[in-house]
Structure 1
Amino acid sequence: MSHTAHIRSHRKPRRSASTIAMRTGVAGGVLSTLAVAGASGAAHAAEPVTQTLELPTLTADLAAQVAQSADVTQQAAASYQLQAERDAAAAKAAKQAKADLAEAKKKAAEAKKKAEEAARKEAAERASRTAERATLSASADTGSSSTGAGSSTSTSTSTSTSTSTSTATGSAAAVVSFVQAQVGKAYVSGATGPSAYDCSGLVQAAFKQVGISLPRVSQAQSTAGTQVGLDNLQPGDILYWGGAGSAYHVGVYVGGGMFVGAQNSSTGVVQKPLSYDPPSGAVRVL
């Protein structure tokens, strides 16, 4: 046995692995605790920063709300303006419609007044023609009774004359020209020209221009030639109103659907369409 066997070594004893591990664990735990504490402290220290960072988010939301409110307000204003424009347009249209209605009523009233005046005038002319026809008829009856057989002789003579001159060139044109030249002259019962005529006086004077002697009264003139249909008229034909042999009015057909006649004291000698006073028949002496 060595003499140094019981002497304690001056060197530090080696630490065992378990001791080192334990100490290492303790140290790790301490470091972990410190780390947690540091993290906790850092977290507590960062709280004010986090709150400060949330402010812009709240501010952005508020700005969005303000913007949305502004949009709503603008839309409402636009809607009010549109409604106001519509109301103004409707008021203008209503005013225009009212004016148009008033104008239409005015025109309708004027048209009605003119129609009534025309109807009154036409009624007066018809009444005048009716009265004149009655007068002519009465005059014709008187003339027939006074002339008697002489009228029949004149009629037969006129008939033979018309046969001999029916193809005379220019005769119809001369008759038409004469009666048209008398248009505008006065009507006087019993007159035979040159400044005034009655119906049969005008016809007699017209045919006298071409050498044809016609009876003086309408009844006899209505049978003075060959009877012709109203759909086969020629210029120069004598038109009559009433029956053949009992006519109360006569005129001269001038062509183109027109006739010339001494109608009455209101109109005098006129040229009118056949539709103005449709005749009953016609005779041809040319």
Structure 2
Amino acid sequence: MSHTAHIRSHRKPRRSASTIAMRTGVAGGVLSTLAVAGASGAAHAAEPVTQTLELPTLTADLAAQVAQSADVTQQAAASYQLQAERDAAAAKAAKQAKADLAEAKKKAEEAARKEAAERASRAAERTTLSASSDTGSSTGTGSSTSTSTSTATGSAAAVVSFVQAQVGKAYVSGATGPSAYDCSGLVQAAFKQVGISLPRVSQAQSTAGTQVGLDNLQPGDILYWGGAGSAYHVGVYVGGGMFVGAQNSSTGVVERPLSYDPPSGAVRVL
């Protein structure tokens, strides 16, 4: 017996043919599967992906709602525009009213200044007239003071009494009494009390008698404002430097001093 007969061989034992065949089949199947999977993956990778979105169908109800919403929006816009136009018009009107008010205030102030100037002018004229009357009395050239304090008698007293009794009654253009008068209507009514018929209007009454100077007045004389024959106002001198006249609708029949509104001239009927 050889001395090496008991030592195992270093060579691996041979596999059987059946085992080798089975392993070969399994490997082949695995490779086939991988090949198919690879091919399938490559096919899917190469094929583009398309996504389809389905839009909702616009039904009749939805279209009506959309149209109604558009109408509401249009109406709201029109309403806002109308309101804006109204606001602009109101602002313009307010601005114009403010300007008109300022203009009216300016005119009122100018009228007030003008009236004040006219009053001052009349006051100066009255002062001058009073000074002239005083001068005439002291020099003996006139007797304004004596005539202004004279006492009416006879028909003159009746005329004076009548016109003073009408003080406080209303002024109405064209009226001749007994509850209201205009200036010439009062004078005509007064002289009618003593049987004297005077013309109806102030222009004619200013030439109805004898012209007398304002520094020689007597109670019952007719005073006039304006020119003789073209007078625009008349009254009756009642003595004491006073006269009675139906002045205007604001004052009615009043008794005032001559200095209140100095007359232009006078006529004597009695």
Query: Which aligned runs of 4 or more in structure 1 are off by greater than 6 angstroms?
Result: 1-101, 109-122, 124-143, 145-152, 161-168
Please say if residues 221 and 237 of structure 2, whose CA atoms lie closer than 8 Å, have aligned partners that are also in contact. Answer: yes
User: 1:272–1:9: structure 2 CA closer, same or farther, 3 Å change rule?
Assistant: same
In structure 2, C-alpha distance between the alignment counterparts of 1:100 and 1:27, rounded to whole Å: 111
1:176 aligns with 2:160: yes
Output the aligned Cα RMSD.
14.6
Cα deviation 1:15-49 (Å, max 9, x = unaligned): 99999999999999999999999999999999999
Moved more, 130-139 or 259-268: 130-139
Flag structure 2 segments of 5+ consecutive residues without an equivalent.
Answer: none
In structure 2, C-alpha distance between the alignment counterparts of 1:278 and 1:72, rounded to whole Å: 78
Give the structure 1 partner of residue 267 of structure 2.
283
Please say if residues 184 and 201 of structure 2, whose CA atoms lie closer than 8 Å, have aligned partners that are also in contact. Answer: yes
Please say if residues 158 and 194 of structure 2, whose CA atoms lie closer than 8 Å, have aligned partners that are also in contact. Answer: yes
Moved more, 31-40 or 62-71: 31-40
Cα deviation 1:88-127 (Å, max 9, x = unaligned): 99999999999999xxxxxxx9999999999889759979
Q: CA deviation at 1:244?
A: 0.3
In structure 2, C-alpha distance between the alignment counterparts of 1:279 and 1:209, rounded to whole Å: 24
Q: Could you say what secondary structure the match of 1:283 adopts? A: strand
Q: CA deviation at 1:141?
A: 37
Structure 2-normalised TM-score? 0.46
In structure 2, C-alpha distance between the alignment counterparts of 1:41 and 1:188, rounded to whole Å: 122
Please say if residues 221 and 269 of structure 2, whose CA atoms lie closer than 8 Å, have aligned partners that are also in contact. Answer: yes
Structure 1-normalised TM-score? 0.43
Q: CA deviation at 1:86?
A: 72
User: 1:176–1:54: structure 2 CA closer, same or farther, 3 Å change rule?
Assistant: same
Give the structure 2 partner of residue 247 of structure 1.
231
Give the structure 2 partner of residue 207 of structure 1.
191
User: 1:200–1:45: structure 2 CA closer, same or farther, 3 Å change rule?
Assistant: closer
Moved more, 92-101 or 171-180: 92-101
Moved more, 246-255 or 127-136: 127-136
Please say if residues 183 and 246 of structure 2, whose CA atoms lie closer than 8 Å, have aligned partners that are also in contact. Answer: yes
User: 1:68–1:116: structure 2 CA closer, same or farther, 3 Å change rule?
Assistant: closer
User: 1:250–1:91: structure 2 CA closer, same or farther, 3 Å change rule?
Assistant: closer
User: 1:77–1:30: structure 2 CA closer, same or farther, 3 Å change rule?
Assistant: farther
User: 1:19–1:224: structure 2 CA closer, same or farther, 3 Å change rule?
Assistant: same
Please say if residues 134 and 248 of structure 1, whose CA atoms lie closer than 8 Å, have aligned partners that are also in contact. Answer: no
Q: Normalized per residue, which structure has more helix?
A: 1
Calculate percent identity across the aligned residue pairs.
Answer: 98
In structure 1, C-alpha distance between the alignment counterparts of 2:248 and 2:99, rounded to whole Å: 47
Give the structure 2 partner of residue 147 of structure 1.
139
User: 1:32–1:78: structure 2 CA closer, same or farther, 3 Å change rule?
Assistant: farther
Count of residues in Structure 1 that have an aligned counterpart in Structure 2: 270
